[in-house]
Amino acid sequence: MPNDCITYQNSGYFSRLIVDYLDQKAELKSLYNRFPTLENFKLQIEEKSKNFPIENREILANALLNQYQKFEISEATSKNIELLKKSNTYTITTGHQLNLFTGPLYFLYKIISVINLTKELKNTYPENNFVPIYWMATEDHDFDEINYFNFKGNKVQWKKESNGPVGRLNNSGLEEVFEKFSNELGLGNNANCVRELFKKTYLEHDNLADATRYLANELFKNEGLVILDGDDSELKKLFIPFAKNELIHQTSFKKVNETLPLLKEYNVQVNPREINLFYIQDNLRERIVFENGNYKINNTLLTFSESEILTELEKNPENFSPNVILRPLYQEIILPNLCYIGGGGELAYWLELKSNFEANTIAFPILLLRNSVLVATKKQVKKMERLNLNWADVFQNQQILVNEKTKALSDFTIDFSEQKEFLKNQFKALYEIANKTDKSFLGAVKAQEVKQLKGLDTLEKKLLKAEKRIHKERLDQIIQLQNELFPNQTLQERKSNFADFYDEVNNFEAFFLLLSSRLQPLKQNFNIVII
């Protein structure tokens, strides 16, 4: 079956802002540094080489080694951490929440995109080294967004209270989740592999950060993926001057608000606060607000004077956490990073931030939309062929698809355009008569035209409805297939978990290798992967 070229722009699943970014519309060019082309990475390397302190490399590598102490580190990952000490080594980064059991499929696509781009850059710029980074969003606190994954259309959920950074959350209660998931998996070697992976990930580690590191490491360690936890006191020390600037001058609030008018034609992703920092403890993550000359921790009794909060920042930088506005800046301060790979929503808020980077004299990375994939089974492909569907068809809005296929299946044309055009021409003659007689007659003519055209519309809809009844069986098959490929009429990658395919593949290593062979980060087309 031909793999139609479905561009992100034509897929119907991306916002106008992202479509315009991919089309490099002139009105957006001031909001990013360089567009993601292979050639532009040369200039990005030159800029970052002058913008990243050599001493930060040793701090970064040592922090990573410390974070990996309790884990079996692969030779490829160990080599990449060591390479970070060298001045000709750069990173490609993606970030993601600590979703239970990876959450939706696009977690995998993000990381594979990062890995594949480092390989492509190494081939193009062999004098440099490129390290793939997965930034764990350990300091997020929205537990309800990550405490579940979908498996076979059902929600597998971890029910627990969480008030602080999710990375520090202990894994108690996941035994019950494992039992439920294990029962649903059924029998077989692949089911046992999935079952064992979940067990080792969540029942043999103390907190969510460690569990997620183990899981990502198991899936991608042979590719040299480096997993970074920003909730690290040594790394936060590098952020102290910038956090201090945020507390005293509220630079990000001013700069992002200067940028927002440039995005007035789009839906703004995030709005800055006057202070874009949280104060965190194991069971606390609250905004820092400035009121009546003091710094207060929202929803607590904690209050600091300026000198007190700056002292706290110097002594305990791990207690300060950047929010969505400042986290990208923190990332680029501690990493020799060239490019951030993210989804449409992520790129949307990154496009608000360039002026803040410039104010802090930190190089703004290249922004690359992650790869998107539709996974289909051979059985589904055969069904598509039998139903005379192509990939462009199944990407359509379901109602439009059903209408088009009804018309295609019908023995006659369900389109009254010709009759409507004929009717309009008839009324042109009546308008000419009306203009020569009483002008009040124009209103009656117009009303009659509208009525008759509406009548044709109604007849066309009734005819379409009647044909849908006749071809119901075939149309139901089309709807069922599209619902399988697009659960809840949204992208599969946003709903399904990789475990959904455990009984469709020989093994997950082969599945990941197939994905890796197909994903091309710098191409703006949907990947159709058949298993």
What pLDDT is stored for residue 270 in this prediction? Answer: 93
pLDDT in tens, 116-144: 999 999 999 999 999 999 999 999 999 99
What pLDDT is stored for residue 4 in this prediction? Answer: 64
What pLDDT is stored for residue 437 in this prediction? Answer: 75
Q: Work out the angle at residue 206's Cα, subtended by the Cα atoms of residues 150 and 313, and round it to the nearest 5 degrees.
A: 105
pLDDT at 453 over 90: no
- How far is Cα 242 from Cα 328, in angstroms, rounded to an integer? 12
pLDDT in tens, 57-73: 999 999 999 999 999 99
Q: Confirm whether 403 is domain-assigned.
A: yes
- How far is Cα 288 from Cα 277, in angstroms, rounded to an integer? 6
What pLDDT is stored for residue 217 in this prediction? Answer: 97
Q: Confirm whether 414 is domain-assigned.
A: yes
Lowest mean pLDDT among 252-256, 334-338, 430-434: 430-434
- How far is Cα 272 from Cα 153, in angstroms, rounded to an integer? 37
Q: Confirm whether 431 is domain-assigned.
A: yes
Q: Are 384 and 390 in contact (CB under 8 A)?
A: yes
Length of the chain: 531
Q: Confirm whether 239 is domain-assigned.
A: no
pLDDT at 157 over 90: yes
Torsion 387-391-392-397 (CA) sign: positive
For the chain, the average pLDDT equals 95
Each as own residue / partner, the long-range contacts of residues 269-276 (CB below 8 Å, 24 or more positions apart, any chain) are 269/345, 269/348, 269/349, 269/352, 270/324, 270/325, 270/349, 270/352, 272/325, 272/352, 273/323, 273/325, 274/250, 275/246, 275/247, 275/250, 276/246, 276/252, 276/322, 276/323, 276/324, 276/325, 276/326
Joined tokens for residue 119: 């390989």
How many structural domains comprise the chain? 1
Crossing angle of helices 54-67 and 233-249, in 10° steps, is 120
Q: What is the pTM of this model?
A: 0.93
Q: Confirm whether 19 is domain-assigned.
A: no
What pLDDT is stored for residue 411 in this prediction? Answer: 87
- How far is Cα 214 from Cα 216, in angstroms, rounded to an integer? 6
Q: Confirm whether 366 is domain-assigned.
A: no
Other CB atoms closer than 10 Å to residue 509's CB: what's the count? 12
Closest C-alpha among 307, 358, 364, 308 to residue 339: 364
- How far is Cα 132 from Cα 91, in angstroms, rounded to an integer? 6
Q: Confirm whether 314 is domain-assigned.
A: no
- How far is Cα 161 from Cα 167, in angstroms, rounded to an integer? 14
Q: Confirm whether 421 is domain-assigned.
A: yes
Pairing of strands 89-96, 320-322: unpaired
At 148, is the secondary structure helix, strand, or coil? Answer: strand
Joined tokens for residue 48: 């970052």
At 132, is the secondary structure helix, strand, or coil? Answer: strand
pLDDT in tens, 4-32: 679 999 999 999 999 999 999 999 999 99
Task: Give the range of the structural domain holding residue 426, as residue numbers without chain letter.
Answer: 388-500
